[in-house]
Amino acid sequence: MTKQIIFDASGEQGLSSRNGSNGSGGNTGGRGGQGGNATQPTPGQAAANVHLQLRSAASTAGMAPDAVAIVGRARGATELVVGAPELGSIQVLAVGGDGGNGGNGGRGGDGGRGRDGASATRSSSGSNGGPGGDGGDGGHGSSGADGGDGGQIVVELDERDAYLLMAVEGSEDPQALVKPGRGGARGIHGSGGRGGAGGRGGSSHSWTETDRNGNQVSRSNSGGSSGSSGRSGRSSSSPLGHGRDGRPGNFAIHVATARGRVAYLHRYELCLVSFEHVEAPSPEQDAIYEFGEIVHVQKVRVRNIGAMPTPAYQRVRLILGKGAWVRPLDDELFIERSLQPGEEYTLAGVLRFRIARPGAPEPGAPLVVEEAIRAEAWQLGVELAGRPAAQTPFARRYERANLTRLLHARYPVENSSDVLALRSLAHGERTRMRFEISNISAAAIGGGSPRGRALGLQIAWVGGDVAADALVFLDVRGTEVALSGQCEGFEGYFLPIANLEARSSLVVETQVGFQKSVEPYMGARLRLTIWIADIEDPRRWCAVQCRELTVRLEPAFAYRPEARVLLVSNNNTTREAFTAWHHMLEDELGLTPDFWSVSRYGHFDHQVELADGTNLRVQLEDRVAVVLNHHFEPRAGAELDLPTDYMRARDVRESVVTNNTRFLIVGSADFQMQQWLEPNSDARLGGSDFDDLPRFLQKEAATAGSLVEETFRDDLTTCFDQVQVAVWTFPLFKPASTRLKTTAHALQTTLSQMHPNRRYVVIHHAADEVQSAGRTWCFFPRWHIGHVEVRRTLNLEKSEAVVLVASDQEINQPAFILGPEARYAICLALTFEAKLERLNWLMQGAEPKSASAAQTAQLLVQSILVDLTAEQEAVRRSKEAHTAQFFEQRFANLGRLMDYPLHTHIRADSAKWEYLVALCSGVEAMTRSQNGGWLFGGRDRRITAHVLERFVRFKSALFDAHAVDSAGNMAMDSQTANHAIGLRTALELEQVEARYKALGFRERWRQKRAGVGRHYFQHPDQISARVARDIDCWLDAEQRVWGADELVRAQRDEAVREAKQEELRLLNAEVRSELVVRAVQQRARVVLDVEAAAEASVGLSRS
C-alpha cells in the first residue's frame, strides 16, 4: 500500500460577513425600523512557507538502497524514512486563503399606515386621515475581504537524488502549488423601506328631517380627506468593492552540485517527439502488418521540456505500453545521460511487439483493426545490483511522454466483395458461385510463389435444412465433387492456389445446386474460407476470412387459377415456415396458395410483364397477398431490408381499388400501414379545378356511395380536385401567413362531416405572393392566398389490408404461424365472400378432429363479425337518408350473409352448430350494443330495427327450412337455436356492459356505450393485440392536412421505394442471367492463364 505524504502550509479561508437583519414595520403612522448593517468579513490568511529536503542512498552513505529520507517543515516539522516501493507521492502546498465575502445590508422596515379619520355625524363633519409613517433606511453592506498571499516552497536535494523530484506532485508545473487566495465578493447595501400609506378620511353623513312646516329637508356633513403617504427610506450610496486577490508565492528547487547550489523554478519533464514502426526484417515482409507478425519501433526521439536537466545519476527506461493487439516483447531502451532543458535525444535500438492473433474468423468482411502504439518513458531511481531495471524500487512515469502512432493490422489476402451467387434456386437450376481473393500485400503469395507461402480456398457445408449429400457441387473444372467428403485434409472442397501476384486478384468460380429429392424452401449454408500458411510456422494453416452463403430451393412462380392466396417469401423463409403456412392455408382453410419469392425475382412490381404476358396486378385479382415481411439480404453483402421497402404504395392502392386484392403483412413493426395510404403520386389523372370553395363543396355534397360504387381505373389518389382559396380581411389589413392552413383544416372538418367514411387528404399550397381579388360587399378586400388539393385515399368502410406484427424469429416458427394470431390475421384479410365460402367449406367437411380445426372455424366467425361491425359503423356514421335503397346498398355484406346458402345438412349432435350460434349471437349482440338513446338515437334505433328484422328471417331460413341432416331428418329448429342464441347474446352484452362500467367517467363520456361495443367486436381479446387493419390507422382528420412539404416528403419516400425495387429487379435479372445454370446445359469450365497459373489455377480468373 503506497503512502501519500502531505506538507500543507496553506492559509485559512477568511470568514464571510453576516447579512444585516431587515427592519421592522412601523406601527400606525410610525416610522419603519432601520435595516441592520452587515458585519465585516475577515481576510484570507497568507500561506506559510514549506521547506522540504529529500535524500536517498544515492547521496547518503549508510542508507538502505531502497530508502527515501524526507524532512519537511510546514507549520511544524516532520522527518521520516520511507521505503521507495511504499512511497506514493509527496504533496506540498502553500496556497493563500480566500478572503471572506462581503455581506448584504438589511432592508428598511415599511412605514406604518396613517390612522383613519372619524366619519361625519349629524353634529360634526368627518376628520382627515393621518399621515403615513416614513420607511426605515436600509442597512450598510460590506466589501469583500482580501485574499491571502501564496507562500514560499523550497525543495532541497543533492543532484544525485534529483530523480526524487518525480515524487513531488505538481513540481513540473508548480503554479497551482503557491497560488494566491481569491478576494471575497462584495455585498450590497440594503434598500429603504416603503413609506406608509395615508389614512382614509372620514366618510360624509347625510340625513333628512321635517321642518316646522311639515316639509322633508335633506341635510349632510362632509367627510375628511385622506392623509399624506410617508417618505420611503434611503439606501446607502457609499461604494463597495471586491476583495483584492493575494500575491502568488514562489516555488524553487535547490540542487546541491559539485559546483555549488543551483536553483530552478520547476523540475525536468520529458516528452516524446517521434518514433517509427516497421515490419521486423524477415522473408515475410510484404508491407502489411499481419496478425502474429513482429513489429519494430525505432528512432524514438525525446525532448526535455522542463526547466532543469534530467537526473544525471539515474537512467530513463523506455518501453511499449500493452494494448488489446499490441503485445510488447521484453525489450527496453535507456537514456544513460542527463538531458539539458530543451535538448532532444534519439535512442538507438528497437522496441518490438507482436500483433495479437484473433480467434477463429466470424463470417463477414475482412478483419481490420486499429490500435495506438504507445511508447512510455519511466524515470528510474537507485537500481539494485543483480536485478532487472523493471524491478527498480523507485520508478515514475513521465505523464507527458504520451505520443502514439496508429497501427493498422490485417491479413495479406482477403475477400472484399462477398460471394456472388444466387440465393434462390428452383429444381433443375444451379448457381455459379464467384468468390474473389485479393492479395493486398507487396509480395506474391501461394505455394508456387518465390517465398512459397501456401494459399487456398475451402468450400464446405456447415448447416441448413438438408445435408451435404443433398447438394450438387461442381468444382473449378466442372467436375462434380461431394461436399460430404474431405479434400486435402479439409472438410468439403479445397482449392490450392499456386501463385497470386502482389496487389492482384483471382476469381474462383464453382457451381452449386440441389438434388431432385430436395423439397421446396429447404436450404443449405455454405462457408467459403481463405487459408494461408501461418506466418511463424509454414506447416500450419491459418484461417484468414470466411463468408457464408445460404442457398434455398424456392418454387418458381406458376399461376394457378384455383389459387386464392399468393405467399410472398424471401431467402430467409425456412422450410418449416413454408410447411406451416401451406398446412394452414390449404389443409385447414382450403385455400390453394401460389408462391412468389422476392429474392428469386428481385421485385414485387405489379406492372412488370411476366412470362405469360400478364403481370402481378392481373394475377392478384380476387386474391390475398400474404407478404412475409422479415429482414432479408436483397443481394450479396447488402444491408438487410424488408420486402415492403421494395413495394410501391401505388401498386397496393391500384390492386385494392380495381382488382379486389387484399394484403396481409406479417412481420416487422418497422413497417407502417400509413405509407400505403399516403397520396404520393406526382401525376394527376383526373379531377376538376374550382375557383372557390363553395362550388367545390356543392359538387362534393352531390357525390355519395361507397368506394365499390365509384369507378377508379387507377390509383385513386391520382384523381384529385384543385380549389383556389380567396379570403376577406378588414380594410388596410392583409391575411395572416397561417390563414391558408386554417382554411385547409376547416375544409377537412367540413368534408369529414359530409362524408365520414371517406379518407380525405387536404394539401395546401401557398401562393408566392398574396394578390388582391377584388372586394366583398363592396367594402372588405378579398385576397387570393393560394390553392388546396383535395385528394382521397382508401375509405373507412371496409378493411383492405391487415398487418400482423411479429419478430424475424417468430415468422419462421411453426408455433407462431399455426397459432391463433396468424390464423385470425389470414381470416381477417380474406374478402367477405371468401370468409363465407371458407366457413361453408368447414361446415361441409368432417367433424373437427383437433382443437386447431375448431379454432380456425371460430376465428372465421370472429372475422365475419369484424367485417359486419365495420359495415354497421360506416352506416351509422353516414348522414344519408334511411331509404330502402340506402339500406340495400350500404348493408352489402349483411346482404351477402343473408343470401349465402350456408351448409346445415349436419347431425343434431354436431359441434358445427356452435359456429352458427356464435355467428348469429354475435350479430345480434353487436347490433343491440349500437342502439342509440331515446332522446337523440332515432337514426341508430331505425338501423338496429332494420338489421334485427332481416336477421329474424335469416335465422328462420337457416334453422327451420334447411337444418336437416343427411337422412332428411330435422337436425335443428329455430326455437332451439333461438334459445342458444339468446343465452349467448345476453352473455356478450354483459361483457360489453362490464367493459363500459369499468371505464372512468371521462372515458365513458368520450367512447359511449356503442363505442365500447364496436371495439369489443372489432378487436377480440388475446388475438388482436398485434393485428391492425388499414381502417384502424390514420383516423385523425387533422393529421391529414398537409403542407406542400409533406406531399414532397411522401413523394420522395415513394420514389425511394420505386428506385430500390427497380435497381434490385434489374440487378437480379442481370445477375440471374449470368449466374444461373440449367441442369441440361453443358458443365462450364473457366480456364484462364493455364500456363502461368499451373494446374491448381484452372478455373481461376484474374481481376
Q: pLDDT by residue (tens digit) across 481-535?
A: 999 999 888 999 999 999 999 999 999 999 999 999 999 889 999 999 999 999 9
In this structure, are 881 and 1021 located in the same domain? yes
Instruction: Mark which of 740, 771, 798 sits at the end of a domain.
Output: 798
Q: Write down which residue in 267, 285, 314 finishes a domain.
A: 267
Entry pTM? 0.72
Q: Is residue 785 in a domain? A: yes
Q: What is the pLDDT of residues 915-946, one digit of tens each?
A: 999 999 999 999 998 876 554 567 888 888 88
**Which CATH number is 282's domain given?**
2.60.40
630 domain-assigned? no
Supply the pLDDT for residue 715: 66
Say yes or no: 22 and 104 in one domain: yes
Q: Is a pLDDT exceeding 70 seen at residue 1087?
A: no
| Contact predicate 624/564, CB 8 Å | yes
Contact 324, 359 (CB under 8 A): no
**Nearest-angstrom CA–CA distance, 780 and 773:** 11
Distance (Å, rounded) from C-alpha 1064 to C-alpha 67?
A: 76
Within a domain: residue 62?
Answer: yes
154 and 6 co-located in one domain = yes
* Cell numbers that stand for 667 in this block: 412481420
DSSP code, position 71: E
| 9 DSSP assignment | -
Clarify whether residues 261 and 277 are in a common domain: no
Residue 616 lies in a domain: no
pLDDT tens readout for residues 814-838? 999 999 999 999 999 999 999 999 9
pLDDT(1091) > 70: no
> Which DSSP category does 958 fall into?
I
Are 706 and 855 contained in the same domain? no
Q: What is the pLDDT of residues 336-374, one digit of tens each?
A: 999 999 999 999 999 999 999 999 999 999 999 999 999
Distance of CA 928 to the CA centre of its chain: 45
Q: Are residues 305 and 251 in the same domain?
A: no
Query: Comparing C-alpha atoms, which of 895, 879, 1034, 994 is closest to residue 951?
Result: 895
* 973 domain-assigned: yes
Whether 187 and 304 map to the same domain: the answer is: no
DSSP state of 719: B
Examine residue 856 and state whether it is found in any structural domain, yes or no: yes
From 798, 821, 836, give the residue that closes a domain. 798
pLDDT of residue 772: 85
Instruction: Assess whether 140 and 86 both reside in one domain.
Output: yes
User: 536 and 516, same structural domain?
Assistant: yes
Residue 815: per-residue pLDDT: 94
Range of the domain at 185: 1-111+133-198+241-267
User: How many CA atoms are closer than 13 Å to the CA of 50, on its beta-carbon side?
Assistant: 30
Based on the domain organization, do 293 and 440 belong to the same domain?
A: no
User: Among the residues of 611-715, which ranges form H helices?
Assistant: 616-619, 649-659, 674-677, 693-702
Q: What is the pLDDT of residue 730?
A: 86
Q: Work out the pLDDT band at 961, boundaries 50, 70, 90.
A: low
> For strand 624-629 and strand 565-569, is the pairing parallel, antiparallel, or unpaired?
parallel
* 280-337 pLDDT, tens digit each: 998 888 999 999 999 999 999 999 999 999 999 999 999 999 999 999 999 999 999 9
For 221-271, write each residue's pLDDT tens digit. 888 899 999 999 999 999 999 999 999 999 999 999 999 999 999 999 999
User: CA 437 to CA 496: how far, in whole Å?
Assistant: 12
**In the chain, how many domains are there?**
5
Assess if residue 125 is contained within a domain.
Answer: no
Place of cell 370468409: 835
Which of 783-797, 948-962, 986-1000, 1032-1046 has the lowest average pLDDT?
948-962
Q: Which one-letter amino acid corresponds to residue 651?
A: D
| 827 falls within a domain | no
277 and 263, same structural domain? no
Report residue 1047 as a C-alpha cell: 406531399
Q: 90-128 b/e with 16+ CB inside 10 Å = b?
A: bebbbbbbbbbbbbbbbbbbbbbbbbbbbbbeeeebbbb
Instruction: Judge if 324 and 463 occupy the same domain.
Output: no
